[in-house]
Structure 1
Amino acid sequence: MDGFDRQLVALAPRLRRHARGLTGDAAAADDLVQDTLERALRYRWRFRLRAGAWWGDGADGLLSWLLTMMHRLRINAYRRADLVTFADTLPDVPSAAPGPALGLDLARALAQLPEAQRAVMLLVGLEQFTYAEAAQVLGVPVGTVMSRLARARERMRELMDGGATPATAAHPGGPGLQRVK
């Protein structure tokens, strides 16, 4: 096993965690990670050509490259939706971790986000990518990443608070806007 293979093995748990957040389904996440790793092995020469230039050096550059492939594979799967289906909700599985209700609520809320917002939320919130790195992985402008993240955070707040927006929570039954003279 060479250094590239060792790096792939070392990054596999992060890829699986990210894929699980994207898909919301363990089996679909495993399939997505396997497809990503297979493609990485098949096209390893492309990473080596780009190392030091566009993708950066070492594990960080490799992770960005792998996540880019993962997101593109996921988009391609949506384009051929008649062949591949993904679950939109997480199954109710009891957790042994402390605070299982919060973790399950968080997972459900994340699963309810639109795909584009969920991808940005996972890259910036979970993987700790900068806006520029997330934009590079997703192939969108930085401003798009920022707006998707703002919408995702707001939607997560709404979902975690039981569906009430801050404006409707302050004025139940009333509009969220007020007229000020």
Structure 2
Amino acid sequence: MTGRAEVILLRHYKHVRRYLYRHLNHRMEADDLAQEVCMRFLQSYRGQTLESPVAYLMTVAKGVLATFYRESMREKRVLVVDSELVETDAKDGNGRDPAEQCATDMDLVRWLGQLPRTHRAVLTAYKLHGYTYVEAAARLGLSIQTVKKYMTQAKVQLRECRLSREVRQLETIKKATRERGRRIACCDE
């Protein structure tokens, strides 16, 4: 029974992975979800003859993809503003401009969406749900070392996103200052 299932998976794995990559456009997440499709198929396959194994696997893949999208949307609804993730200047304090805070929250949601699914899951388990590394590892089925590694990589990627945003803001300020200088120079003549 397992032999037939393995043959089916080996023959059609590329199709499943290609389908998932086309919908996700992220190689690591497509690989993770393809593995999930394989696991679900192996758990449910009972040796029956399948008219179209590809159609069966694609149905499983669609279910896995739907679950993934639901979880992603649930994570995006929760705005996690943490001092380690989005460092703020001391001058901002609690009196931040609401529009600026909203922009920061939206950036954070976008940045979280750019993280691989595994990294995002580790980050939300630790930061949002308050699990320790050991608890997060047990809940996610990962080793403690892997949880630490994903956490570090997620923080680094989020800091890089924040820094790139700050660079863009500085470039915009410089451009506006140059424009203002040109207008003042024109008025003086």
- TM superposition score normalised by structure 2: 0.39
The answer to which structure, 1 or 2, has the higher relative contact order (CA under 8 A, 6+ apart) is 1
Give the structure with the higher percent helix. 2
- TM superposition score normalised by structure 1: 0.41
The structure whose Rg is larger is: 2
